[in-house]
Amino acid sequence: MKRRLLLVSNSTLHGSGYLDHCQQQISHFFGRDVERVLFVPYALHDRDTYTKTARDKFKTLGYEVDGIHEASDPVDAVRKAEGIFIGGGNTFRLLKSLYDSEVVTEIRRRVLEDGVPYMGSSAGTNVATISINTTNDMPIVYPPSFSAIGLVPFNINPHYLDPDLHSRHMGETREQRITQYLEEPDTPCVLGLREGSMLLVEGNKATLLGTTKARFFTRGKPSVEYDPGSDLSFLLTDAP
């Protein structure tokens, strides 16, 4: 398995700028073998402005950025990409656009077979998993399927939020919503990535990075907390 993934919970951490909190991990992840990164801005409506934001940030790290929407043939752009970064925004809009552009299969092939490094943040992390069923977003558009790119055999909930014990809000907590999801048959386990955390996948090894803990949910068992630096390779088996 050649896959190399950097799955980030959030692109902006409170008190810092765009991708500032994970820029060291980004530089280490793409390394010096990658000069140009293909950015997928499909999760936001204004793709040009979004691409400029990513381009400006990556330039400070020594990388050039090409927006996939700027290419005449998106599939060919993926086929030639040295590295791929899918940004956050609305997960439903993102996945629909990935299907509309017919790049889902090619991204999966390039990452799993060719070893092209894949970075996602927020919605871009959601679509790297089995499905987008554990996104926090509103279904503003309807993709042809909730099945995602499938680079890992589990789901992720980015921006995982702990209950506020002092809040008077009476809606379900994030944990309750994930538990409801797991009550349905044949659903995969879920990794809740708090803001500030990210998962590094190298082949069949997975490591939690960042400054915050992650929470792991599986059907019929208590949730488990993991500290930064934890080995989460068990997630990569077919039935964790």
Given 9, 101, 122, 131, which residue is catalytic? 122
Whether 122 is a known active-site residue: answer: yes
Instruction: For residue 200, give every residue at least 6 positions away whose Cβ sits within 8 Å of its Cβ, in sequence order, or none.
Output: 5, 6, 7, 25, 29, 206, 207, 208, 209
Whether the pLDDT of residue 170 is over 70: the answer is: no
Per-residue confidence band for 121, with pLDDT thresholds at 50, 70 and 90: very high
137 catalytic residue (yes or no) = yes
In terms of Cα–Cα distance, which of 8, 13, 3, 71 is closest to 42?
71
Give domain limits for the chain: 4-236
Summarize pLDDT for 192-240 with one digit per residue, the tens. Answer: 999 999 999 999 999 999 999 999 999 999 999 999 999 999 999 854 4
Q: Tell me the pTM.
A: 0.95
Q: Is the dihedral of CA 144, 192, 52, 139 positive or negative?
A: positive
* pLDDT tens track for 123-169: 999 999 999 999 999 999 999 999 999 999 999 999 999 877 777 77
At residue 95, does pLDDT exceed 50? yes
**Which amino acid, one-letter code, is at 4?**
R
Closest CA to 151 of 91, 105, 216, 219: 105
Active-site residue identified among 137, 166, 167, 231:
137
Q: How confident is the model at residue 2 (pLDDT cuts 50, 70, 90)?
A: confident
Give the pLDDT confidence score for residue 238 in this predicted structure: 58
If one compares 170 and 126, the residue with the highest pLDDT of the two is 126
**pLDDT given at position 22:** 97
Query: Which residue matches tokens 């998106």?
Result: 74
Closest Cα partner for 191 from 149, 109, 148, 134?
134
User: What is the rounded CA–CA span in Å between residue 39 and residue 8?
Assistant: 15
Round to whole Å and give the CA distance between 184 and 161. Answer: 22
**CATH number for the domain formed by residue range(s) 4-236:** 3.40.50.880
- Please give the C-alpha separations between residue 196 and each of 7, 17, 114, 172, in angstroms, as whole numbers: 11, 13, 29, 23
